[in-house]
């Protein structure tokens, strides 16, 4: 199970840190991803971190502003979001998959419940 938290309302230019706590699995064996879905839009890839080596990957829209990290001792993955923009407003979901990372949500087999991020202008 995945439990996402840390969302909220923030002004443009502000920061938030999302957390996703995993339970009941060998967390270190899973690549983790963050996705988001804005109202009326398709779900989109935000960032992911590989299960081995910790290599990170980002959507172009967030590169340089967001940072994904993981703490295997705490079974938790984080998404640090800086310089937030109104277009970052969405429900953010964490997801887990065996093996290497992927930007395709269909390849992830476990999903958290989502946390709302709202950025005001």
The tokens for 119 are 């950025």
pLDDT of residue 29: 86
pLDDT(24) > 80 = no
Phi, psi of 106 (to 5 degrees): -65, -15
Each residue of 36-68: pLDDT tens digit? 999 999 999 999 999 888 899 999 999 999 999
What is the pLDDT at residue 25? 63
Q: Could you read off the pLDDT of 80-116 as tens digits, one per residue?
A: 999 999 999 999 999 999 989 999 999 999 999 999 9
- pLDDT at position 52 is 83
Which residue(s) pair with 66 in the sheet? Answer: 81
Q: What angle do CA 12, 18, 22 make, to 5 degrees?
A: 165
């Amino acid at each position: 199970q995945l439990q996402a938290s840390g969302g909220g309302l923030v002004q443009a230019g502000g920061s938030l840190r999302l957390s996703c706590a995993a339970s009941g699995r060998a967390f270190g064996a899973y690549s983790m991803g963050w996705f988001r879905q804005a109202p009326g839009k398709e779900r989109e890839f935000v960032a992911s971190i590989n299960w081995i080596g910790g290599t990170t990957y980002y959507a172009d829209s967030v590169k340089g502003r967001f940072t994904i990290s993981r703490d295997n001792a705490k079974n938790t993955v984080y998404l640090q979001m800086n310089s937030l923009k109104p277009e970052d407003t969405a429900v953010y979901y964490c997801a887990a998959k065996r093996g290497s990372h992927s930007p395709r949500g269909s390849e992830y087999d476990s999903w958290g419940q989502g946390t709302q991020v709202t950025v005001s202008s």
